[in-house]
Amino acid sequence: MPTPGVAFPRDTYNVGIICALATEKAAAVAILDKRHERLPPALGDVSDYTFGTIGAHRVVIACLPAGMKGKASAAVVAQDMMRSFSIRIGLMVGIAGGVWSEDVDVRLGDVIVSQPTGQHGGVVQFDFGKTEAGGSSRRTGTLNKPPRELLSALQGLQAEHLLRRPELEQHLAKMLSEYPAMEDEGFVRPGNDRDELFEADYDHESGKTCKNCDRSRVVQRDERLHHRPRVHYGNIASGDQVMKDGRTRDRIAQQEEVICFEMEAAGLMDSFPCLVIRGVCDYADSHKNKRWQPYAAATAAAYAREFLLWMPATEVAKIRPALEATDANSISVVYIPLPKNHQFIGRQRALETLHQKLFTARDCQKLAVVGLGGIGKTQVVLSFAYTVMEQQRDVSIFWVPAVSAETFERAMREIAKKLGIRTAADKNEEVKEVVKAYLSGPQAGKWLLIVDNADDMHVVEKLLPYLPYSADGSVIFTTRTTAVAQQLVGSNTIELVKLQPDEANQLLTHALNRKEFLQETSVVTDFFEELDYVPLAITQAAAYLNINTNLSIAEYLRLIRGTDDDKACLLSKEIRDHTRYEQSSNAIARTWIVSFEQIQERDSEAADLLRFIACIEWKDIPHSILPPIVPEARMLEAIGTLSSYAFVSKRTDGMAYEMHRLVHLACWIWLRENGKLHDTQLRVVAHLAAIFPTAENHRNRATWRAYTPHAARVRKQHEHDGCGVEAREASQLYYNVGCCLQVDGRIKEALQWLHHSCRFRAALAEDHPDRLESQWVLALAHIANGQTKEAIHMLEQVVTIEKTSLAEDHPDRLASQYALARAYEANGQTKEAIQIIEQVITIQKKTSLAEDHPSRLVSQLELALAYRANRQTKEGIQLLEQVVTIYKETSLAEEHPSRIVSQYELALAYGANGQTKEAIYLLEQIVTIQKTSLAEDHPDRLASQYALVMAYIENGQTKEGIQLLDHIVTI
């Protein structure tokens, strides 16, 4: 058996073999003369490779990922292989379903090699759909021929085989002699009696074998004089589904002159220069089974060896690397998440300038389209992108929104998918680095990258390190601020200004429902003048006119001219302050103020919603966070009013709303300048305090996660602008948010919120329940953050105050003592902790608290932990077993944190006591439950998995432990 020898540089491996199944790869590995040491994976390549030599060829072998058959998966593996190695020729080696005919006597175990025949290039691509009994299929196209060099060598080998027999049997014998175990795995010929071809219209009866099938329906064929596998050359049919219907098989075979069916080759022929070599394992009908698969894989591998021994390595070395060859004729990759705007008009000069600078003169590789929000930057670049896509098909196009790090990362993941790049784990940093590396290399060819909405330099600065650079690449930024444009591209900017009159007229014609208004040309001209020919202003005004059917353009003009110009100036000024514009358009301000005031006059409930949304985040607004309006139909009408002005839109997934960001800002300023901001903020805080979920019910997790960004917006505005808020309601809101964040494991954030809550409540008497409650929860957060001394200091104060203000059996007093015990234990003061908890439990037993009361169970749990820390392991286990048993008998869901914690701690205690199997049993249950209840990177989930790793290793289950540990490290 060949054993792995030395490793060689990756650029010396010129032959690539791709298999779809482990059986196929095993056969391919077995034909190697020598095996080499494995090389470390290249960046972004997660395929598993085997290295070695056949004759003078250095060969690398890859297999498709488990459970991922088909042409798409094959294409990804091929791309990875070509990027990682200097592959010059490729072989797709494996099994297939054969087509017998009187002209081509295909038998099980024979070898079929792709060779251009008739109108096809050796592989025919089909979209089979379902190909069960009676199923239909449809050919979708043909594919490239194998490279000329491979076909020349193939012709020569065929000629040689006319002079002497193929040496397939010798190669098979060598395989079995070096790997005797392969005989036990079925890599030997099953026998003639098992090679049965049933009539095409006779379907399989039942069972894994054909023992129940009617032998009278077996096709009678001449018996071969020998059992040597024969080699057939011709077209191979390739599709996404397994062919297992005799009627469909014969129909397609007759139409397209194919002699076998498989699933991967169609993904390779246009991108991976290769021959397809298939061993026949069945007849592509309903009688197919796996009995012949190992032997068929072996015969295909034997032919691959014979072919490589025939083709000189010196000739292979002369062939252009596959990646370069495919790149020279590659089809571009396009990722544009926005549909083409078929109503886009005008901006011809800007479009011509873009094309001139980037593709004609090529006097720059980066430029920015800059202009006021709503001026049409995105639409101009979108139109340009689609024009490039249609007219320059050798240019790949990628669109990346830079609104935030999240939108950028999401787009980079999508681009990675489009490029067929896979990473070892779904890590944002790795995805961004791999995409950058790929686009920066020669294999990417020509590309255009659009970075849209690069408005915030603080966000953009974090994204710039991940933007690629290539002599064949170009980047367009769109931004609202000239300051950002200057930092990104210097003087290479295209400034978008207001529309030309004819462009504005075309836009209004598209946007306005009542076309008769356009006949009043002088009024329409005045209308454009007042709106400053800004696209967004025109579409907003048109939306206003469409919803207010009793209003004409002339009356709309009267409303604009009747408003206070000072308001419009102030609105423009604030926009400039908050978005860092050097200049802004008053026309948009006037349009939106008119709309705000009109909504206020005609739909007070919609106006209430408008004001509320202006004080929370502009995006990801859950329906449930909005102040209720009854009946529900009226609520939907109010939202419809805002939607009709294009102020609010429903997110594409239908789960939340968004307000246009600039509208959101303009409305907030409008409230402030009209003296309504303070009252609105008070109502917003009161509403959020009333509806924000409590952390006690973990089923509310999804809700509090959706609400938290909006509460954060309120807090940020209070801190930034000093807007007064009602202390009682603000403290309650901050308290609830802090508690929820603590449950989510976001301890540092929780500390900030809880500090604010304590600050609000500091004015209360020192023994006020709310003040003590905030201090108590803040102390728990300090414990979780490892700040045990701060926690002890705070809790000792709370406990001291409650000794004089509360009865000894009061739940709050007991909870504070319990928390202090936790802090002592965390600080290593185990004896003090035990003393306090034993006192608490004694008091609880005296009261009427049932043994399954949460407070009593929590105290027992903490005492058990203290016992364990004090090396009183048996006492700790006894208590924990009691707690776990009681929790199981309660109505708490199995994923409830209290129940999970008790089981986790019992598992740790078992482990410390040498009861490893009991620990593993509990930890496996916990890990399974947390897969669906906690985020993948939640500290509690990771802790449970790590504890299970330690238990596995302690129990001698090293393989399971390492596998789980790799998963943890990846996360």
Q: Would you tell me how many other CB atoms lie within 10 Å of the CB of residue 125?
A: 20
What is the distance between the alpha carbons of residues 47 and 781, in angstroms, rounded to a whole number? 44
Is 144 within 8 Å of 263 (Cβ atoms)?
A: no
Query: Which pLDDT value is given to residue 584?
Result: 32
d(CA 478, CA 451): 7
Instruction: Name the DSSP letter for residue 218.
Output: B
Query: CA–CA separation, 823 vs 780, rounded Å?
Result: 8
| Backbone dihedral region for residue 261 (phi beyond 0: left; psi -120 to 50: alpha; all else: beta) | beta
The residue to which tokens 């040309």 are assigned: 521
- Spell 489-511 as b/e; 16+ CB within 10 A means b: beebbbebebbeeebbbbbbeeb
Integer Cα distance of 494 and 486 in angstroms = 11
Residue range 315-367, pLDDT digits in tens: 998 888 887 765 545 557 899 988 887 778 788 889 989 988 887 677 788 99
Q: How confident is the model at residue 137 (pLDDT cuts 50, 70, 90)?
A: very low
Whether the Cβ atoms of residue 955 and residue 917 lie closer than 8 Å to each other: yes
Task: Report yes or no: 873 and 909 within 8 Å, Cβ to Cβ.
Answer: yes
> Cα–Cα distance between 504 and 528 in angstroms, integer?
7
Q: Are 809 and 803 in contact (CB under 8 A)?
A: no
Residue 344 CA to residue 341 CA, distance in Å, equals 6
Q: State mean pLDDT over 118-135.
A: 61
Alpha-carbon distance of 750 to 777, in angstroms, equals 10
pLDDT at 806 over 80: yes
C-alpha to C-alpha distance for 466 and 556, rounded to whole angstroms: 48
DSSP state of 286: T
96 in Cβ contact with 261 (< 8 Å) = yes
Phi then psi for residue 370, to 5 deg, are -120, 145
Q: What pLDDT, in 10s, does the model give residues 677-697? A: 888 988 999 999 999 998 888
User: In this model, does residue 575 exceed pLDDT 80?
Assistant: no
pLDDT at 504 over 60: yes
Interatomic CA distance for residues 188 and 49, integer angstroms: 25
First to last CA, the chain: 38
Closest CA to 945 of 869, 934, 702: 934
| 913 has a pLDDT exceeding 80 | yes
What is the tens place of the pLDDT at every residue in 759-800?
A: 888 888 888 888 888 888 888 889 888 888 998 888 888 888
Identify the residue with better confidence: 610 or 880.
Answer: 610
Q: Which residue has the higher pLDDT, 826 or 627?
A: 627
The full DSSP string for 371-416 is --TTSSHHHHHHHHHHHHHHH-TTEEEEEEE-SSHHHHHHHHHHHH
pTM value is 0.43
Q: Tell me, what's the pLDDT at 565?
A: 38
User: What DSSP string describes 757-818?
Assistant: HHHHHTTS-TT-HHHHHHHHHHHHHHHHTT-HHHHHHHHHHHHHHHHHHS-TT-HHHHHHHH
pLDDT reported for residue 426:
53
Structure confidence at residue 834 (pLDDT): 82
Which of 41-50, 623-632, 789-798, 846-855 comes out lowest in average pLDDT?
Answer: 846-855
pLDDT over threshold 50, residue 129: no
Asked whether the predicted pLDDT for residue 377 surpasses 70, the reply is yes
Rg of the chain's alpha carbons, rounded to an integer? 36
Instruction: Name the percent of the chain lying above pLDDT 90.
Output: 31
What is the predicted pLDDT for the residue at 608? 94
Cα separation of 304 and 323, whole Å?
22
Cα–Cα dist 91/82, whole Å? 13
Strand partners, 473: 447
Nearest Cα to Cα of residue 861 among 848, 843, 877: 877
- Among candidate residues 273, 288, 197, 209, the one with its CA nearest the CA of residue 242: 288
Please give the residue that has the higher pLDDT: either 865 or 5. Answer: 865
d(CA 64, CA 489): 43
DSSP characters over 474-542: EEEEEES-HHHHHHHHTT-EEE--PPPHHHHHHHHHHH-S-GGGGG-HHHHHHHHHHTTT-HHHHHHHH
Rounded CA separation 659/599 (Å): 15
Residue 946 half-sphere exposure toward CB, CA atoms < 13 A: 11
> What does the alpha-carbon distance between residue 729 and residue 42 come to, in Å, rounded to a whole number?
56
Residue 601: the pLDDT is 82
Q: Are strands 493-495 and 648-650 parallel, antiparallel or unpaired?
A: unpaired
